[in-house]
Structure 1
Amino acid sequence: MTSIKPVLPSGYSAVPPGHVATVVTSLEMSARPPERPAQPFPAGVALEPLERTVAAYRALYRAVGTDWLWFSRLVMADAKLQAILDNPQVEFFALRKDGRDAGILELDFSQAGECELAFFGVTPDMVGTGVGRSLMNEAIARAWSRPISRFWVHTCTLDHPAALDFYRRSGFVPYAFQVEVFPDPRLRGVLPRDCSRHVPLLG
């Protein structure tokens, strides 16, 4: 468990113009949770290894994350992202429905003895279909198939409102809060200006 020292004062803190603020919750599990009843992917849906190229990765990343202001891997230098994609300790999977992108699963085993659920999610049309639960069951099984003692993830208040509860029901336990402030990627042209309507655009 990582100790994070508080640095923000109590009360309101101003966010710079053109920036977005979000509360990040870090969660972890220290043992594999009890197995859930099998919930296979529906017909036409399959989990496949993702082609390890910047173009393929970013296309899937955008498909899943645009509505939730995912931008970090879009502004990352191509060479740096390719180095992550080339890392044999990181597993990349695309959930595909009838041949098109429907979800992402990225498991990072780079830190000895643990696994980070680096990116996880489904495309907007798949939210609420139950596919996310099947994908999480697959993530948990793959993570704990290796000799780890910790599986962790973080989510934030920009994500789907059910995300935090979903992770908790999956067996993750919150252990830290942080506030992240960053330039709004919609104002920088990284993401469409009309995406993420749940986050006010203050330019």
Structure 2
Amino acid sequence: MTSAPVLPDGYSDVPPGMLANVVTCLQMLQRPRPKPARPLERPLTLERIEKPALTDYRALFRAVGEDWLWSSRLVMPDAELAAILQHPDVEVYVLGGGKQRLGLLELDFRQRGECELAFFGLVPQAIGQGAGRFLMDQALAKAWARPIERLWVHTCTFDHPGALGFYRRSGFVPFAFQVEVQADPRLSGHLPRGAAPHVPLADFSA
């Protein structure tokens, strides 16, 4: 068995058109005690969408993740994405408020005995209103309703600055760091050039 490559100490160059960010992996090995429910500014619902249409799924994925450069499901081939979303051990939920779609929750149970909190997020206008806590409470309940031994998630330096603290307050504990290198989706046109202004756009072709 070969070991994973190790980055050298110091700085490493990133090829033109690529981005690098630091990923923190977190896990919990048992369900935490429920936290007292906070009053919500508006009634919220959570609906599971079985075999979601790719267009609808990607529209919500983009609405939630554009500010944080979520792009994996935008660049993924349709057949590959459909195979994931239609898998019986992948659960996709839409957070709703009235007639608005406010958030996305995706739980991946394909690894036996584990659940990955694959995607978790809110549209910008829903942040800071208690919807995140509601969605996390629902995520924990649904994940631990199955016979799992581990629930895990990852966040990165491109995410909302409060994401890491939120996951830790929810009961997750960091266990690993990674460096992710990916093509800048703003240069390929998968996301607008003005997306995620907190991440510099280095267009070497300009």
Q: Same fold (TM over 0.5)?
A: yes
Q: Distance in 2 between matches of 1:75 and 1:154?
A: 20
Preserved contact between residue 27 and residue 174 of structure 1 (Cα < 8 Å) = yes
Unmatched 5+ stretches in structure 2: none
The count of aligned residue pairs is 200
The corresponding residue for 2:23 is 24
Per mean C-alpha deviation after superposition, the further-off stretch among 37-46 and 121-130 is 37-46
Report the Cα offset of residue 43 of structure 1: 3.2
Preserved contact between residue 50 and residue 57 of structure 1 (Cα < 8 Å) = no
Report the Cα offset of residue 98 of structure 1: 1.9
Question: How well do the aligned residues superpose, as a CA RMSD in angstroms?
Answer: 1.4
Report the Cα offset of residue 172 of structure 1: 0.4
Report the Cα offset of residue 50 of structure 1: 2.5
Deviations 1:157-178 (A, max 9, x none): 0000110011011000000001
Q: Distance in 2 between matches of 1:83 and 1:34?
A: 34
For 2:136, the aligned partner's letter is M
For 1:45, the aligned partner's letter is L
Cα–Cα, structure 1 residues 44 and 37, in superposed 2: closer, same or farther, change >3 Å? closer
Provide TM-score, normalisation by structure 1: 0.94
The corresponding residue for 1:43 is 42
Q: Distance in 2 between matches of 1:21 and 1:110?
A: 27
The corresponding residue for 2:150 is 150
Q: Distance in 1 between matches of 2:116 and 2:200?
A: 30
Report the Cα offset of residue 35 of structure 1: 1.2
The corresponding residue for 1:94 is 94
Preserved contact between residue 41 and residue 129 of structure 2 (Cα < 8 Å) = no
The corresponding residue for 1:174 is 174
Q: Distance in 2 between matches of 1:158 and 1:31?
A: 28
The corresponding residue for 1:77 is 77
Please state whether the residue corresponding to 1:21 is helix, strand or coil: strand
Report the Cα offset of residue 46 of structure 1: 1.1
Preserved contact between residue 63 and residue 101 of structure 1 (Cα < 8 Å) = no
Preserved contact between residue 49 and residue 93 of structure 2 (Cα < 8 Å) = yes
Report the Cα offset of residue 6 of structure 1: 5.7
The corresponding residue for 1:126 is 126
- Aligned-pair identity (%): 61
After TM superposition, where is structure 1 displaced by more than 4 Å over at least 4 residues in a row?
Answer: none
Report the Cα offset of residue 44 of structure 1: 3.9
